[in-house]
């Protein structure tokens, strides 16, 4: 078995553990090779996730899911020779380097060999096209020689020759988790709770989009409009649309405090079509403007 295949299976294991940790295990069909240690472990995790979800739903509990609360951002600024010129404090915290370990160091000195090939290809494309704006997966090498995977946006700053490398990541498991909605039909009390759980998850994962009508949501989750409306209020103590509105603003608040993303970008990331609408909603919710939040210098763009 190749190293890349092993890495893919390890990533899947981390993803399943992450889903269990946030109360949202997804349905999947594990492999059944009894001679493969990865498959055996995946089967065990699958069984635990199924038992935990069944127990939770049988107790009438719909677990919450707040993925953006575990997000942070890595930021590197490279000079014209692709050496690290500056970085934010999350780089030190997550990769465990001391400040003196990074300044002036070639960027390809902190990524693994596989990533170096990807990095060189990116730079070669820049020479050919005279522009750079791309999203690539890199594996950083931490101070203690561990691998830290991250999807990075690479772009050249408007003035000068500096490159900006940023990555918005989930810190709970350091591997991006993809959560999908189950399409299997469910019935009875537990079935309705599962539909509410899926609706709750759907809202949190689509905060950057307009929320469909209750009728459309009921059709999407195989339920009835009235059941979704009443059941959601009963279990989450708020209406579907009020929850959607509040969670968009919570996500915006979290991103303002924990990232260097501009306020206008955050507004669009949270589903607001204009910054003015976002400004008014944010101020009404919190009593102060988004720009009044204190952002440390390390988090400013």
In whole angstroms, give the CA distance from residue 225 to residue 2: 49
Cα-based torsion angle of the residue sequence 55, 57, 60, 65 in order, rounded to the nearest 10 degrees: 110
pLDDT for 63 equals 61
**195 within some domain:** no
Q: Which two tokens stand for residue 111?
A: 């990524």
Q: Which residues contact 60 (CB under 8 A, 6 or more apart)?
A: 189, 193
Give the tens place of pLDDT for each residue, 188-203: 556 788 888 888 888 8
Domain-located, residue 209:
no
Domain ends where: 170, 188, 215? 170
Q: What is the CATH number of the domain that holds 96?
A: 3.30.450.20
The whole-angstrom separation of Cα 70 and Cα 50 is 24
Q: Specify if 198 maps to a domain.
A: no
pLDDT of residue 41: 84
Cα 158 from Cα 229, distance rounded (Å): 48
Location of structure tokens 């060189």:
120
Predicted confidence at residue 100, as pLDDT, reads 83
Same domain membership, residue 8 and residue 30: yes
In this structure, what token pair is assigned to residue 70?
């575990």
Predicted local confidence at residue 102, as pLDDT: 92
Residue ranges of the chain with per-residue pLDDT less than 70: 1-8, 11, 15, 18-32, 57-71, 128-133, 158-160, 169-190, 295-301
What pLDDT is stored for residue 130 in this prediction? Answer: 65
Count the domains in the chain: 3
Cα 57 to Cα 138: distance, rounded to the nearest angstrom: 38
The answer as to whether 230 is a domain residue is no
**Tens digits of residue pLDDT in 99-129:** 888 999 999 999 988 889 889 988 888 776 6
Asked which of 59, 79, 100 is the last residue of a domain, the reply is 59
**pTM of the predicted structure, to 2 decimals:** 0.48
My answer on whether 143 and 95 are in the same domain is yes
Q: Within a domain: residue 266?
A: yes
- Is residue 186 assigned to a domain? no
| Strand ranges across the sheet with 163-170 | 84-87, 71-78, 163-170, 147-156, 133-141
8-state DSSP, 12: H
Please report the pLDDT score of residue 301 as a whole number: 42
- Let me know whether 97 and 162 are in one domain: yes
Examine the domain organization and report whether 34 and 74 are in the same domain. no
* Residue 176: inside a domain: no
The CATH number of residue 289's host domain is 1.10.10.60
- Residue 269 tokens, joined: 């990331």
Measured CA to CA, the distance from residue 255 to residue 293 in angstroms comes to 11
Beta bridge partners of 153: 135, 166
Rounded Cα gap, residues 41 and 44, in angstroms: 5
DSSP string of 161-192? S-EEEEEEEETTTSS--------S---HHHHH
Among 125, 143, 170, which residue terminates a domain? 170
Give residue 36's domain range: 1-59
């Amino acid at each position: 078995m190749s190293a890349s295949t092993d890495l893919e299976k390890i990533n899947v294991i981390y993803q399943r553990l992450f889903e269990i940790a946030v109360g949202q295990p997804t349905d999947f069909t594990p492999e059944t090779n009894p001679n493969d240690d990865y498959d055996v472990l995946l089967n065990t995790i699958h069984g635990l996730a199924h038992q935990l979800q069944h127990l939770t739903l049988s107790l009438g509990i719909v677990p919450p899911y707040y993925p953006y609360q575990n997000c942070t951002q890595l930021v590197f600024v490279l000079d014209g020779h692709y050496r690290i010129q500056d970085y934010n404090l999350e780089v030190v915290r997550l990769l465990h380097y001391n400040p003196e370990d990074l300044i002036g160091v070639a960027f390809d000195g902190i990524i693994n060999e596989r990533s170096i090939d990807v990095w060189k290809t990116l730079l070669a494309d820049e020479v050919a096209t005279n522009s750079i704006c791309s999203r690539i997966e890199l594996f950083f090498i931490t101070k203690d020689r561990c691998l830290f995977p991250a999807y990075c946006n690479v772009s050249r700053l408007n003035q000068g020759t500096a490159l900006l490398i940023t990555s918005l990541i989930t810190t709970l498991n350091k591997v991006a988790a993809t959560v999908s909605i189950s399409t299997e039909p469910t019935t009875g009390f537990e079935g309705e709770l599962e539909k509410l759980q899926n609706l709750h998850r759907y809202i949190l994962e689509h905060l950057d989009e307009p929320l469909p009508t209750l009728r459309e949501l009921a059709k999407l989750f195989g339920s009835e409009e009235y059941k979704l409306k009443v059941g959601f209020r009963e279990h989450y103590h708020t209406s579907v649309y009020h929850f959607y509105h509040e969670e968009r603003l919570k996500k915006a608040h979290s991103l303002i405090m924990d990232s260097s993303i501009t306020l206008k970008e955050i507004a669009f990331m949270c589903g607001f079509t204009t910054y003015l609408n976002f400004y008014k909603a944010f101020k009404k919710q919190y009593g102060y403007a988004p720009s009044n939040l204190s952002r440390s210098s390390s988090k400013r763009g």
